Amino acid sequence: MQERALALPALCLAAACASPEALAPVSGERPADSIPAVDQNPHPDIVEVSLIAEAATVEYLPGRPASVWAYRDGAAPGAAARVPGPLIEAKQGDLVIVHFRNELVDDGTTVHFHGVRLPAEMDGAHHALLPGEEFDHVFVAKDAGTFWYHPHVRADEQIERGLYGALHVRDREAQRSPAERVLVLDDVKLAEDGDLAGAWTDLDIAFGRQGNTLLVNGVPVPTLRTGAGSRERWHLVNSSNGRFFELELAGRTFEVIGWDGGRINEPYIVETLPIAPGERYDVLVDVGGAPGDRIELRTLPSVHNHAAPGSVPEVLLKVEIDEGGPRDAAPGQASPILPLPIDDATPTRAFALTEDIEGKYGPQFFINGEFWPFNVPIQATLGDVEIWEIRNESDGAHPFHLHGMFFQVLSRDGEPENRLGWKDTVVVPGWGTLRFAVQYDEPGRWMYHCQIPEHAERGMMGEVLVTAP
């Protein structure tokens, strides 16, 4: 569609074509550590946690409180709600029980487990819990990997307000290393007084809201400490609404050993690591250095963000090398992934992503010309393998997310994909085409949508109904 090309100059003039002016964090080191949820169950193969969604106050910038919505660990006496929510940790094969209660004053909410293969009724995407209501999510952690949880009701507002957290599932026999970290990347749009900024602008909606304060585990520019010569393993989650991170670590490289659905067959090395909203990456980093050295994890300007020309890299995290000895978090050999049998795939499904930035009621987004929730679910058969072709008929990138199952990318703009691994969220760049293979391995109603929540909430979402043959 041409509407975006015509509308963007007007949007850029209104916003000076720039990201919000960055607010500098107050000096003083703050750690980057995750805070695990309390496991209430003594059984070694059961993880049982409690999450409570409620209004809270946090200080993204010390001394300047922000009113947020956040998850509190209901099993930790005296614990305050925090952003992000408690880290849920499990082993592959564990039974996971999440007791969830909505204590927001006026708003319904849900908990969706992003990337987790689980029964459809546990996915948390369909029915909002009203204030005071409870629900128990019960599922088996089928896959080792890094996942995250967040609402699926007004996700644009609720994630921005602070309702998100990470779920990390280890390999069955793996032990967590001190040099292994779960790092949830985000940004938040703050006013000068440190509170959350006000209403969404048309630019926020067009690109996904991008903040002026970068966060790692809820902290602006935290400090991570490790020993000289360590090889760290970082489980990275992009929980932001609209920011595409482009990571760089002071001349070091990232060895990518996994992504959304777990380990990949052939690790690869990159100097910069792009992570779209909703994506996760599992990387090894050789820190090197000597005690007293400091290095910075930065994010570079991305072509997918609406930053002004000439924008400079922004610091996300500081790594301080201490006197501790070297640690090595490198994992063992991963189980090989086999390609899906696409020779027997049913006919290809085509999805066109379009948008009308100057819609009568503000920017609107569509899949095959249809607008959620008025589109009709597509029908699929349990066990079938299908090929989906996603065509982005707009200028901006759309991270495409499919609930409840993994897929394997086959090609990007006609070029075969040479890396084999399981994905559930993948970037379709402006005017690009992406093909993937998916096997329907769980019955039920499953959402698919753009992972920029401003786009999904304004129409770019649909459902696939998987039924037994």
pLDDT tops 60 at residue 12: no
* Better-predicted residue by pLDDT, 345 or 465: 465
- What does the pLDDT read at residue 369? 96
Quote the tokens at residue 359. 């819609």
- The mean pLDDT value for 26-51 works out to 88
Residue 27 banded pLDDT, cuts 50, 70, 90:
very low
- The mean pLDDT value for 67-83 works out to 97
Cα atoms in the Cβ-side hemisphere of radius 13 Å centred on 293: 15
**DSSP assignment string, 187-206:** EE-B-TTSSBP-SPPHHHHH
* Better-predicted residue by pLDDT, 316 or 305: 316
Residue 103 banded pLDDT, cuts 50, 70, 90:
very high
- The mean pLDDT value for 235-261 works out to 97
Mean pLDDT of the chain: 91
In this structure, what DSSP letter does residue 130 have? P
What's the pLDDT tens digit per position in 336-350?
999 999 998 887 999
- What does the pLDDT read at residue 72? 98
- The mean pLDDT value for 150-169 works out to 98
* Better-predicted residue by pLDDT, 304 or 37: 37
- The mean pLDDT value for 300-306 works out to 81
| Beta-bridge mates of residue 170 | 91
Three-state secondary structure string covering 372-390? CCCCCCEEEECCCEEEEEE
pLDDT tops 70 at residue 19: no
- What does the pLDDT read at residue 312? 66
**Domains detected in the chain:** 46-170 (2.60.40.420), 180-322 (2.60.40.420), 342-467 (2.60.40.420)
- What does the pLDDT read at residue 14? 39
Residue 52 banded pLDDT, cuts 50, 70, 90:
very high
Residue 311 banded pLDDT, cuts 50, 70, 90:
low
- The mean pLDDT value for 426-453 works out to 98
- The C-alpha torsion from 188 through 192 and 196 to 202, rounded to 10°, is -70
Question: Using an 8 Å Cβ cutoff, are 347 and 384 in contact?
Answer: no
Which of 176-180, 243-247, 311-315 has the least mean pLDDT? 311-315
- The mean pLDDT value for 111-119 works out to 98
* CA distance linking residue 417 with residue 353, whole number of Å: 21
Q: What percent of the chain has pLDDT over 90?
A: 80
pLDDT tops 90 at residue 314: yes
What's the pLDDT tens digit per position in 368-395?
999 999 999 999 999 999 999 999 999 9
Best CA proximity match to 115, nearest among 402, 408, 437: 402
Residue 127 banded pLDDT, cuts 50, 70, 90:
confident
- The mean pLDDT value for 349-370 works out to 93
| Cα angle: 171, vertex 316, 395; to 5 degrees | 90
| Beta-bridge mates of residue 273 | 247
Cα atoms in the Cβ-side hemisphere of radius 13 Å centred on 196: 19
- The mean pLDDT value for 137-166 works out to 98
Q: How far is CA 108 from CA 101, 102, 155, 324, in A?
A: 11, 7, 11, 47
- What does the pLDDT read at residue 274? 97
pLDDT tops 90 at residue 4: no
